Amino acid sequence: MTAGLDELSFDIGALTDGYASGAFTPAAVIEEVYRRIAERGEKPVWISLLPMADALEKARGAPKGPLYGIPFAVKDNIDVANLPTTCACPEFAYAPKRSATVVARLEAAGAIAIGKTNLDQFATGLVGTRSPYGIPSSVFDPEYVSGGSSSGSAVAVASGVVSFSLGTDTAGSGRVPAGFNNIVGLKPTKGVLSATGVVPACRTQDTISIFALNVADAAKVMATASAYDAEDAYSRKPPRQFAVESLPPNLRVGIPADGLEFFGDVEAERLYRASVARLKESGASIVAFDFTPFRDAARLLYQGPWVAERLAAIRSFAETKPDALHEVVGSIILNAAKLSAVDAFDGFYRLADLTREADAQWAAMDVMLLPTSGTTYKISELLADPIQLNSNLGYYTNFVNLMDLSALAVPAGFRPNGLPFGVTLIGRAFDDGRLAAIGDALHRASPDLRLGATPVKLHDTQPAVPTAAGRIAVAVVGAHLTGQPLNVQLQERSARLIKSARTAPGYSFYALAGTTPAKPGLVFDGEGAGGIEVEIWEMEEAAFGSFVALIPPPLGIGTLKLDDGSRVKGFLCEAHAVADAEDITAYGGWRAWLTRTAQL
């Protein structure tokens, strides 16, 4: 085992830093992943695992993309080549010849799929108790449910075994397990992530979802995975590429005027009210809205004709092998055969009416903030009352896909009994980037939160950094600063100054010899005690390419870590070039050194 690896949370920033510094390799991380799996036991979280030898081979040949060497898990209704897809039904299992489009995109970016995770059978349930492969429990208390249907995917992330995971979300399956396990659940706008290679639950309402330890990680995975897929009939071309946006000014956050339901969980209500207060303290306006049309739409998902889509997805199998279905899942899916085409149209009309009513509520708010779930339950309670309690867990989630909305679930604190609570930000379609900005700020405003069940604190990880889609942020440290002789190169490319900042400690700063105009060299050597002044500029991708072409050696563009934990592209210098250069680290920046030398 590589020293220190056993203490890492596996958040993407920590692994990326470790690879960049040479502290460890992807192969060493994969070995640690399998050690953690063995320590916890494979079951009931995992249904199948890639042999470690195969995973190590992937690690050694991983492309050096934005997710280089990052281990992830995949819900077992999403195809991964060389692993069976079971949907938590052994008799349904098949061997896919290729991975789902989203999995393939992630692996092309350097990520490493470790295995397939447990779920409520055929993604039918919000509880995690409906699987012949066992019942994953909350990482905080084995008596309580993990949430479903993406149960294993959430537990794999929250326990620190992988950096992120893929789930699916039709009724809340990418959000409820996040709330029960103190992690982030990103449910994107339908159609933004390809569904090719996914066994559908309700094909018109499904989306792949992303579980991660913080919003920055979820956003990075989302940016990598999202792309239009002509092979998927429900894929959509968004009006703008996904990117974390800046916090909107004058934000209006909606909370229900009435209809809030916590099912007797007073601590959940207290934590929800605290999240509302934090948003208000941040400057957001809190507005009351009528929750009625959203609540009524939620009831349609299981009480209306969309249940028939679950039968349509597996009709041949369900009718020929009904005994292979989990008892509760079978009762839900097979009963859908009683629904008629008239029932379907009645449901479509009712949903259209409710969506029009909801439009009037959206006119007064930018996003809404709801509990991810009003309460949680023990496994024994769910087994005793599987239908009603599952319905309770979907009270705040079931309407979201039906109404074509985006959502982001974030942790919001802990009850006195040690169980976590989460809230969900909900926006209109394609508001995913806005939700990421608001969700990250809200998550970080919560006191003393750690990543999942790991000991690592949220505030020790990087925040989600806003970057306009199609634009690249770059940190400049010397002759390109405002007022300096090469700043014109930025202005010629219509670059925009975002902010001034400082690097994290560990960078040494030098005045290079024999350069015209005078230029500094920034080197990461782990020695500089203070941060170095930088300016963050943003420009179009095409302009960035021409800008980089102007940079002479020994300078180049690498990745800088800032003092707030975020990372940005920026100027770095080859180490050999500073051998005869003046060390000016103590000045804290280029301007301060220029001022000092002018006075001498």
Q: Give the residue numbers annotated as catalytic, written as ranges.
A: 75, 149, 173
Tokens of 196: 């090719």
Q: Are strands 112-117 and 71-75 parallel, antiparallel or unpaired?
A: parallel
CA distances from 300 to 391, 397, 402, 476 (A): 12, 12, 9, 54
Alpha-carbon separation of residue 153 from 137, 141, 228, 386 (angstroms): 12, 17, 24, 21
What are the residue ranges of helices labelled H in 457-573?
Answer: 487-491, 541-548
Report CA Rg, the chain: 25
395 and 261 in contact (C-beta within 8 Å)?
yes
Query: Residue 191's Cα: distance from chain center in Å?
Result: 16
Edge-to-edge order in the sheet of strand 507-511: 520-524, 507-511, 582-583
Residue with token string 């108790």: 129
- From CA 271, how far away is CA 286, in angstroms rounded? 16
Q: What is the DSSP string of 332-387?
A: HHHGGGG--HHHHHHHHHHHHHHHHHHHHHHTT-SEEEEES-S---BHHHHHHSHH
CA distance 277 to 419: 21
Q: Count CB-CB contacts under 10 A for residue 591.
A: 15
The whole-angstrom separation of Cα 319 and Cα 80 is 27
Measured CA to CA in angstroms, residue 171 lies from 299, 388, 428 at distances of 11, 15, 17
Question: d(Cα 73, Cα 208) in Å, to the nearest integer?
Answer: 13
* Chain-centre distance for alpha carbon 511: 41
* Listed residue (212, 153, 156, 148) closest to 186, CA to CA: 212
Q: How far apart are the first and last CA of the chain?
A: 53
Cα gap 172→424, rounded to integer Å: 11
CA dist 97 and 58 (Å) reads: 17
Name the one residue in this structure whose structure tokens are 């249907």.
149
Q: Please give the Cα distance from 103 to 567 (Å, whole number).
A: 25
The full DSSP string for 580-599 is TSEE-GGG-SHHHHHHHHHH
Pairwise CA distance, residues 381 & 378, whole Å? 5
For residue 149, whether the previous peptide bond is cis, meaning omega lies within 30 degrees of 0, is yes
